[in-house]
Each structure stands twice: as structure tokens, then as C-alpha cells.
């Protein structure tokens, strides 16, 4: 696999509102992609295997939320994170973010453990289990993120009981789901924001309203 240059990575991320990444971030992204593709030959982590498209589709679309929701610090739960998207790219942009990766699949959780270790991600935990089994009494989240997970009603119900007072939900959705969820009761939504380089995928950011 030919390694991507810093310029290629910067150009790929620019449409998503990511300012030119520093050398360390570019190297981290290259390391992530290398590890992702190596594991992907053994277990199904992504159908996108071209490195440049991985930067655009996985890193760019994930990082797009940083500007839309002003993510700089706080506590973020990535529900059904799979290969670590969107949580890990957001963590790379906002190192002070405290990240919880929630993934029920044992092999995917093992991949995430290697990613966290190899990239030296601090203030990052992996919960291997379903979101509904996540222990109560833990500190509330400032953000709950779900990308291409489905189970939207369940995610919103779970988020309502796990978000901080001013916490927000971040959903990466197709067009039909976006406009259906915008009509969901008891939630205030901003957006939807069309994801750059996409015609039918959106980012939706919302807060629960009091019952």
C-alpha cells in the first residue's frame, strides 16, 4: 500500500472544515489506516479500502462534527463504534475529549484496543457490550454519537438517560432517516447539515426537551 502524503491528507480533509493537519496528525492517520486495513483482511471493519477514500469517508465525515457541534472537550460516547468512527477521529482533533467507545462485537473491540494502544490515546475507554447494558451511575456524556448504526429510537432513548443537562446527540444519517427523525417528538434538532461531498447523507445534532 502506497502511503498517503501530508498534502493528500490535508486536501482530502479540507472540505469537511478541518484546517490543515499537523505532521503528527497526518502520521497518526496513516498509522490508523495501516492497522485498519491489516485487521480488515481478517474481520469485516470497512468496505472502503482505498486509503484516500478512507480519509474522506471515515475521517472527514467524522471530523465534520467537530465544527458543527463545537466539539473541543467534554465526554463523548460513540455508540456502536465499529472500527472507531466517528469517535477516534474526533478524539484526534480534540485531544482533551474523554472518549468512550461502545462496541458489543468481541473482535472489533479487540481492534479498538490495539488502536487505542498503538496511537497512545489517553482518556479513552472501550466498553465491550451493548449500549443498554452500559452501567448506570457513570458520569453523564456531553455528546452521544452514532454513525450508520440504525436503531435510532433506541439510541435516542438511551441518550436521554445518559446525556448531561446540556448534552447533545450527533447522528450521521441518510436522507430518509434524517427527515423522519427531525419530526421525532421531545427533541430539538439543529440542521440537518449536508455532509460535504455527499448528496444524501446528513449530520443531525439535537438536544432532548424536558418531558
Report pLDDT for 137.
79
Domains and CATH numbers, the chain: 63-208 (3.40.50.150)
Report pLDDT for 96.
96
User: 78-109, pLDDT tens digit by residue?
Assistant: 999 999 999 999 999 999 999 999 999 999 99
Q: What is the mean pLDDT of residues 30-38?
A: 97
User: pLDDT band at 191, cuts 50/70/90?
Assistant: confident
Kindly provide the residue ranges of all beta strands, DSSP E only, lying in 92-196, ordered along the sequence. Answer: 98-103, 124-128, 141-147, 163-174, 187-194
Considering the entire predicted model, what is its pTM?
Answer: 0.95
The helix or strand, by DSSP H or E, that contains position 92, with its residue range, turns out to be: helix 87-93
List b or e across 14-24, with b for residues whose CB sees 16 or more CB atoms inside 10 angstroms. Answer: eebebeebeee
Amino acid at each position: 500500500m502506497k502511503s498517503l502524503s501530508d498534502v493528500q491528507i490535508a486536501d482530502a480533509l479540507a472540505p469537511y472544515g478541518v484546517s490543515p493537519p499537523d505532521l503528527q496528525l497526518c502520521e497518526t492517520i496513516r498509522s490508523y489506516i495501516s492497522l485498519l486495513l491489516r485487521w480488515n483482511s481478517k474481520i469485516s471493519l470497512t468496505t472502503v479500502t482505498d486509503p484516500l477514500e478512507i480519509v474522506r469517508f471515515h475521517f472527514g465525515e467524522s471530523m465534520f462534527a467537530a465544527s458543527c457541534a463545537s466539539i473541543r472537550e467534554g465526554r463523548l460516547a460513540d455508540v456502536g463504534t465499529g472500527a472507531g468512527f466517528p469517535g477516534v477521529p474526533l478524539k484526534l482533533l480534540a485531544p482533551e475529549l474523554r472518549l468512550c467507545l461502545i462496541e458489543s462485537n468481541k473482535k472489533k473491540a479487540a481492534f479498538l484496543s490495539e488502536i487505542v494502544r498503538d496511537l497512545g490515546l489517553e482518556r479513552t475507554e472501550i466498553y465491550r457490550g451493548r449500549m443498554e447494558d452500559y452501567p448506570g451511575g457513570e458520569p453523564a456524556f456531553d455528546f452521544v454519537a452514532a454513525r450508520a448504526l440504525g436503531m435510532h429510537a433506541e439510541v435516542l432513548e438511551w441518550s436521554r438517560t445518559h446525556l448531561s443537562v446540556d448534552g447533545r446527540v450527533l447522528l450521521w444519517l441518510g436522507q430518509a432517516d434524517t427527515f423522519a427523525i427531525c419530526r421525532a417528538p421531545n427533541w430539538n434538532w439543529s440542521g440537518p447539515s449536508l455532509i460535504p461531498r455527499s448528496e444524501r447523507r446528513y449530520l443531525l445534532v439535537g438536544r432532548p426537551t424536558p418531558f
